[in-house]
Structure 1
Amino acid sequence: MAHAQQHTQSLWQEHTAFPALKSLDTSLKTDVCIVGAGIAGLLTAYRLMRKGLDVVILEKDLLGFNETAHSTAHLSNALDDGYVNIRKWHGREGARLAYNSHTAAIDLIEHLVKEEDIQCDFQRVPGYLFLGEGDDRRFLEMEMAAVHDAGFFDAHLVEEAEEQFFDAGACLKFPRQAQIDPLKFARGICENILARGAQIYPLTHAEKFQGGEDTYVETSSGHRISCKHIVVTTNVPINDWMKVHFKEAAYRTYVVALKVPRGMKAPCLFWDTEMPYHFLRFHTNSKEDYDVLIVGGEDHRVGQGGTSDNRFFRLRDWAERRLQIEGEVVASWSGQIIEPMDGLAYIGRNPGDFDNVYISTGDSGHGITHGAIASMILSDLITVGSHPWAALYNPSRFNWKGVSRFIKENIQTGIQYRDWISKGDNKDLEELIPGQGCVISEGLSKIAVYRGEDGMFHRLSAKCPHMGGVVHWNEAEGTWDCPVHGSRFNKYGEVLNGPALNNMSPEDRSSEEATERKNKKEGSVGVK
C-alpha cells in the first residue's frame, strides 16, 4: 500500500527520523500482534517485552506519520472535559481513578525517559485553566471543588499565573503537568523495543482480524501473523465495524506554531474554557535562536467544520487578539481527536469479541497519557488477566449518565446521510483549480473529483467504504473526510484514518464513460 501523506506537517516531523524498516513480506508467528505504532502501541509493546513476551507491530504508514506525530503533547491530569463532568459521568470514585491513572501515566513517561535515557525534551511544567471571554469565574470555583474531590489537592485558584505572558486573569493552576516532543519519545521507545527483539513493520496494512483458538491478523498483501493475542491501537479500532464507533465521535483539531523571542516565558501549559477551546505551550529548539509558541484548538466534527483554512486563520486571529502575539508561523497542522461519550478512553477487551482481542480508542485529546494508561492496562490484562483501572476504561461500558452527549453526537452522525439527496458541491469541473477537489452528483451517484496539478481529473465514488457516508473535500489538507464516523482518505482515495479499512472505490464505469464523452465533447482535459 502506498504511503498516504497529508499536506500539513507538524513541528515534530521536521526534525525526527525513525529507523528505516521494511514492510512485512512473509507470514510469521508471535505472542502478541499489535496493530498501530503510535504511543499506545509502542508503550504496550515495551511493557509486554519487559514481561517476556514476543511482539510484532504492524503500522499502515511510515513510522512517524500517525496521530502521535500530530499531538501537541500536553501531558496532563487536568482532563479536557473537566472533573465536574468526569464526576457526574463516573462518580466520585471514578473521578479519583481517572486522576490517579493520568497522574501515573505522566510518572511512567518520566520514569522511562530517565531509565532509558530518551532525549525528548521532557519537562515538568505548571498548567493553567483560564476563562474564555465572557465566561464566569464560578466555573473555575466549581471545577476546583471537583478537582479536590478527585484527590488533586495541589490544584488551586490564582488571581494571575506566575508564568503569565498575556492578560489571562484568574486561573486554576495545576502543578506538575508535563510537556514532551512526542516523536522523539516515540522514536526512543521504538529503538528500545527493536533492541529487545521486537519486529516492527511499517507500510503494512492489517485487514482481517480473528481471535479465539486460531488467532491471527492478516494483511492486505495476504501475509498472516499467527499469535496468542491481538491489540489494536489505531486511534479508532479498525477491527470493529460499529460496536464502539457509535459511542464516540471524530473531531479535527488545529495547531499553529508561532515564532516568539527566546526565553519570553518559562515553559507552561494553558487551556481556556471557550467552545471550541484553545490551548497553549512553548517549545524550545536548541538549534534555533527563537522559541515557538504552539497555539491549538478550534475543534470541529470531521467533515462538518466548513473550510479548514479558516480554522488556521481563526487560531492566528485569536493569538493576535487574545495574546497580543503576531509571530511568524513556522508550522501548522491538524490532528484527529476521538471523543468518547463520557470523557474517558475505551481500553480493554474488544466488545462482543474473543477475550484475546483488545483495543484502545477514545483518547479525548489526551492521546499521550491515555496511551500510557493503555500500556499499563493491556499488558496486565494479557499477562495476569486483570488491572485495577480496567472497569473504569472498559470498552463494553455504556454510560447512561453520558446519554445526552451520546444522543447529540449520533443525531449529528445520522444527519450526515442527507448528503445523498443533496446536489453535492454544485461546481463546474472546469472551474475546479488544480490541487482541489469537490463532490458532484451524477444521477443517483456521488462522485469525488480531484483535479491534479497537471490538470487531470481523478474520479472516485464519494461513498465512504465504512458505512456509506458521503465524503467531503478538506482543502487545507488535501483529503477526503467522511462526516459520519471520521474516516479520512488522501486525494487519491487511500485511507488515512479509520474506521474505514479499505480505500475509496472507483466510480461506476457507466458514470466514468459518460464523463469521458462529456470531456471529449467540450474539449476538456482527460480523465484519469
Structure 2
Amino acid sequence: MVHNSSGQTSSVWMATVDMPQPAPLAQSLHADVCIIGAGIAGLSTAYCLACEGKSVILLEDGRIGSGMTQRTTAHLSNVMDEGYVEIERLHGHKGARLAASSHAAAIDRIEKIVAEERIACDFERIDGYLFSKSGGSNETLDDEFLAAQCAGMRVERLERSPVIPLEAGPCLRFPRQAQFHPLRYLIGLAGAVHRRGGQIFGGTHVKSVKDGPQAQVETDGGAIVTAGAIVAATNTSIVDTVAIHTKQAPYMTYVIGARIPTGSVPKALYWDMDDPYHYVRIQSGSDRDGQYDVLIAGGEDHKTGQADDAEMRYARLEQWARDRFRMIERIEYRWSGQVMEPVDGIGFIGHDPGGSENVYIATGDSGMGMTHGMIAGILLTDLIMKRDCPWSSLYDPSRKTLRAAGQYAKDTLNMAAQYVDWVTGGSVKAAEEIPKDSGAVLRRGLAKVAVYRDQMGLVHERSAVCPHLGCLVSWNANEKTWDCPCHGSRFDKLGTVINGPANSDLALMKNGQE
C-alpha cells in the first residue's frame, strides 16, 4: 500500500484523482487489436491504433491506471536512467542516438496529444539537471556530457546550477524535458480512445492468451476476445514464461512527497549519480489552506522481495531530501513502486520472443515508464500497421546484447540463489508468532506456506510457491503484499495476483498441503 501522513492509502496522484472503473467484459467480442493493461503503455497503444482506424478492445484487471502508472514520479525525459556512457557502450553510437531521439519523440507526441485532445494534466516543459555523485569527482559527469552530446542530446555543462544544487559543483542542464499529472493524462487519453470507437473494460482478468491468425484472449469471466493482434502492456509480460524474464530484473523504488512553499524550488527534473541514485521533481498542489508545492523525491532501490526494510529506506530518503531542501515543511505522502530493469538498459517493445508474429509486448521500463509507454504506442502501431520504424531493432525483445553478458550472468545467479529458500526453515515456526495484520512464511513438512494473520487474528494460508516458475514469495511489510524475489510477481495479502509475470493467485492450502 501507499501511505500519506493521514494514514490513507494514496500516492500524490491518487490523492487528487478518482480513477474510473470501466464495466467488466460481459460477452465475447472481436477487434482488430486486443490490448491487455490500461496503464500508460496500453492506453498510448490503444490511442495510436484507434487514430489509424483500427478497432481496439482494451482489458484492464482493475481501474484505469491502477498498476505501476499510479506509482510513477512522472518524469518525461530523454535522459536515460543508465546514462549515455553506458547506453553507448552497450548499444553503440547509433543505438544511443536512437534511444535519445525515441524518448524525445515520445515527449513531443504526448505534448501534441495533450493539445489536440485538450487534456488538462499540468503538462509543461521544464529543464532537467544531472549532478555528480556525492563527494565524487567530476570526471564521470564530464564523460556523460560528451556521451550525451554524441547521442544528439541538447546539453550544457554548468559550473553550478542556476537554480538549486543537489550537490555542490558542476551539473549538466538538459532543456525541453517535461512533466505532467499522469492519471489526469490517462483519463483524457481514455476519453479520446472512446471517441475513436475503442472499447475499454475494467475489472476483467485475462486468464490466457492463445496466438495464431485469429488470436484469442480468454478472461476469468469466460468471455473471449478474438483479434488479429494482441498487445500485453502489463508492466511485465504475462504472455511469455521464460525468455523475457531472464533479461530483466524487478526492483522496488521508494518515493516521498514533501510539502514545500509554492515557488520555493524551481520546477525542473533533478537527478544525481549516486548508487542507488535519487530523482526529484515538483508538483503544484492546493487545499483549503491555499496553494503549495509537493517536492517528489525517489530512490533507495533494491531488488523486489530481497529486502523488507522500507521504514529505514523512507527515513534515509527523507533525510537526504531534508539535507538539500531545507524548506520542507512536512512529508505528505510516501509510496513505492516496482521497476523492471532490462539487462542492457533499453526496454523490450515488439514481438513476443516466445510467441507468434501477432503477439506483442511492452516491458523493461528501467525507470523511463512514461516515455517508454508512448514509445510503445508509436512503435507497436507501426509494427501492427506493417510499417518500418527506425527504433524496432533497438527495442526488439529478441535482441541479444553481448556486451551485457556480465550483467546477465550476475542477474541469473541472483535469481538462482533465491531457490535456496526451498531448503531453509520458515521465518516463523507457528502462525501464532505472526503479529496481527502481518504475514510470514513458515515450513509445514515439505511445504512452504504464506501465512497472513488479519487484524482480528484470523489466519489465511496460501502456498508460498509463486505460480510463475516456482520461486518462494517473501512478505512485504510496507505494502502488505507477497513478492516474488525471482521475477517480480506480486500478490495481495490474501494471495490474489496483482502483478505479473504470474497470472494466477497463490494456491490454496488444503489439509496443510497445496
The code of the aligned residue for 1:120 comes to C
1:364-421 C-alpha deviation (Å, 9 max, x unpaired): 0000101111111100111124311101110100111111111111111111001111
Question: 1:229 maps to what in 2?
Answer: 229
**Is the 1:19–1:191 Cα contact (8 Å) retained in structure 2?**
no
**Is the 1:309–1:475 Cα contact (8 Å) retained in structure 2?**
no
Indicate the larger mover: 483-492 or 328-337. Answer: 328-337
Distance in 2 of aligned mates of 1:226 and 1:118: 31
Q: Name the TM-score, length of structure 1 as normaliser.
A: 0.93
Aligned pairs (5 A) from 1:96-495? 96-152=97-153, 154-164=154-164, 167-287=167-287, 288-324=290-326, 326-426=328-428, 428-495=430-497
**Is the 1:166–1:324 Cα contact (8 Å) retained in structure 2?**
no
Structure 2 SS opposite 1:145 = helix
Distance in 1 of aligned mates of 2:108 and 2:180: 13
The code of the aligned residue for 1:180 comes to F
Structure 2 SS opposite 1:14 = coil
1:143/1:222 CA distance change after superposition, 3 Å: same
1:27-78 C-alpha deviation (Å, 9 max, x unpaired): 1111100001111111111111111110000011122311111110111111
Distance in 1 of aligned mates of 2:88 and 2:157: 20
Question: 1:517 maps to what in 2?
Answer: none
How far apart are residue 222 of structure 1 and its match?
1.7
Q: Structure 2 unaligned runs (5+)? A: 4-8
Distance in 1 of aligned mates of 2:130 and 2:393: 29
The code of the aligned residue for 1:421 comes to V
**Is the 1:31–1:53 Cα contact (8 Å) retained in structure 2?**
yes
The code of the aligned residue for 2:262 comes to R
1:22/1:168 CA distance change after superposition, 3 Å: farther
Structure 2 SS opposite 1:285 = strand
The code of the aligned residue for 1:51 comes to E
**Is the 1:27–1:223 Cα contact (8 Å) retained in structure 2?**
yes
**Is the 2:437–2:453 Cα contact (8 Å) retained in structure 1?**
yes
The code of the aligned residue for 1:134 comes to G
Indicate the larger mover: 300-309 or 428-437. Answer: 428-437
The code of the aligned residue for 2:384 comes to I
Question: 2:6 maps to what in 1?
Answer: none
**Is the 2:29–2:226 Cα contact (8 Å) retained in structure 1?**
yes
Distance in 1 of aligned mates of 2:377 and 2:248: 21
How far apart are residue 441 of structure 1 and its match?
1.1
The code of the aligned residue for 2:474 comes to H
1:511/1:21 CA distance change after superposition, 3 Å: closer
Structure 2 SS opposite 1:13 = coil
Indicate the larger mover: 26-35 or 6-15. Answer: 6-15
Structure 2 SS opposite 1:163 = coil
**Is the 2:131–2:167 Cα contact (8 Å) retained in structure 1?**
no
Structure 2 SS opposite 1:9 = coil
Question: 1:519 maps to what in 2?
Answer: none
Question: 2:89 maps to what in 1?
Answer: 88
Q: Name the TM-score, length of structure 2 as normaliser.
A: 0.96
How far apart are residue 167 of structure 1 and its match?
4.5
Structure 2 SS opposite 1:509 = coil
**Is the 1:70–1:333 Cα contact (8 Å) retained in structure 2?**
yes
**Is the 2:21–2:62 Cα contact (8 Å) retained in structure 1?**
no
Structure 2 SS opposite 1:392 = helix
The code of the aligned residue for 2:128 comes to G
1:184/1:284 CA distance change after superposition, 3 Å: same
When the two chains are superposed, the root-mean-square deviation of aligned CA atoms in Å is: 1.5
How far apart are residue 305 of structure 1 and its match?
2.2
Question: 1:41 maps to what in 2?
Answer: 42
Q: What percentage of residue pairs aligned between the two structures are identical?
A: 44
Distance in 1 of aligned mates of 2:144 and 2:318: 28
Structure 2 SS opposite 1:229 = strand
Distance in 2 of aligned mates of 1:325 and 1:412: 41
Structure 1: 4+ residue segments shifted above 6 A: none
1:430-465 C-alpha deviation (Å, 9 max, x unpaired): 232211111111111111111101110111111111
1:457-476 C-alpha deviation (Å, 9 max, x unpaired): 11111111111111110001
Structure 1 SS opposite 2:50 = helix
Question: 1:515 maps to what in 2?
Answer: none
The code of the aligned residue for 2:17 comes to T
How far apart are residue 130 of structure 1 and its match?
0.8
Distance in 1 of aligned mates of 2:328 and 2:48: 44
Number of equivalences: 507
How far apart are residue 165 of structure 1 and its match?
5.6
Question: 1:509 maps to what in 2?
Answer: 511
**Is the 1:144–1:172 Cα contact (8 Å) retained in structure 2?**
yes
Distance in 2 of aligned mates of 1:212 and 1:59: 22
Distance in 2 of aligned mates of 1:430 and 1:459: 13
Distance in 1 of aligned mates of 2:176 and 2:497: 38
How far apart are residue 482 of structure 1 and its match?
0.6
Distance in 2 of aligned mates of 1:186 and 1:510: 44
Distance in 2 of aligned mates of 1:159 and 1:192: 45
Distance in 1 of aligned mates of 2:88 and 2:146: 11
Distance in 1 of aligned mates of 2:507 and 2:246: 24
Indicate the larger mover: 330-339 or 319-328. Answer: 319-328
The code of the aligned residue for 2:216 comes to Y
How far apart are residue 17 of structure 1 and its match?
2.4
Distance in 1 of aligned mates of 2:363 and 2:388: 19
How far apart are residue 195 of structure 1 and its match?
2.0
Distance in 1 of aligned mates of 2:306 and 2:26: 39
Structure 2 SS opposite 1:228 = strand
**Is the 1:461–1:507 Cα contact (8 Å) retained in structure 2?**
yes
Structure 1 SS opposite 2:221 = coil
**Is the 2:444–2:512 Cα contact (8 Å) retained in structure 1?**
no
Structure 1 SS opposite 2:451 = strand
1:233-289 C-alpha deviation (Å, 9 max, x unpaired): 001110110110100001111100001111102201111111111110001024442
Q: Structure 1 unaligned runs (5+)? A: 513-528
Indicate the larger mover: 274-283 or 5-14. Answer: 5-14
Structure 1 SS opposite 2:332 = strand
The code of the aligned residue for 2:435 comes to I
**Is the 2:205–2:219 Cα contact (8 Å) retained in structure 1?**
yes
